[in-house]
Chains A and B, each alone.
Chain A
């Protein structure tokens, strides 16, 4: 699986958009970009995934660059409950086991 690079921490004001970047410059053509998050002392939660097109669901939007070497997870209106560690994972080609890096610790403040 391609390696991902995320900033270790970010903060965001409540009600504002949170934009979490992820670099995956070695991604291959059949690999998807997945985002999960883990709120303190809970199991990870699936957020969204995409291959090359931008995706949106009720939780977030995923913007993937045209060359697919990076992506951004957007939480349009962050709330205090969005404080969590966000993991960007790239996988595909039959390798379907999420392998977690250090992720980005997002703190949403009032």
Chain B
């Protein structure tokens, strides 16, 4: 089946630093990818839609200058958490639709971020 990978799987950083998370579709192309955030014991919350070759679309309440998204190719989207603070500590998950348009989504394994 389709595979979506994320790197790194976990990261610990100091407050004020920036962290980049990569999301790759390994055996299919994805013009659109989605980024989610999940806090402990809560459900996934959509942060933004990453569009290849154009600007990302952010959900209400998500700061676009803090969570920079770059979808540079049909198989790679990156999320950069800039000037990270402890409240940004969370589980970040990306997904991509297998057919490039919608329908079934395949999710990455997630990246756990801990900001000290």
Contacts and interface: CB of A to CB of B under 8 A. Distances in A.
B109 A42 contact: yes
Interface of B: 4, 6, 34, 36, 43-46, 49, 91, 93, 95, 97, 101-110, 112
Nearest to A42: B109
User: Which of A36, A41, A44, A103 has the largest number of chain B CB atoms within 10 A?
Assistant: A44
Given A97-B34, A101-B43, A102-B43, A44 B93 contact: yes
Interface of A: 32, 34, 36, 38, 41-46, 49, 87, 94, 96-103
Contacts of A46: 104-107
Contacts of A100: 36, 43-45
Which 7 pairs show the lowest CB-CB distances between chains A and B? A96-B102, A43-B107, A100-B44, A100-B43, A44-B107, A43-B110, A43-B93
B105 A98 contact: yes
A103 B112 contact: no
A41 B93 contact: no
B12 to A, nearest CB: 16
A103 B42 CA distance: 10
A96 B101 contact: yes
B43 A103 contact: yes
Given A96-B102, A97-B34, A43 B49 contact: no
B91 A97 contact: no
A3 to B, nearest CB: 14
User: Which of A38, A49, A101 has the largest number of chain B CB atoms within 10 A?
Assistant: A38
Nearest to B91: A41
B46 A43 contact: no
Contacts of A99: 46
Contact of A96 (B4, B45, B103, B107): B103
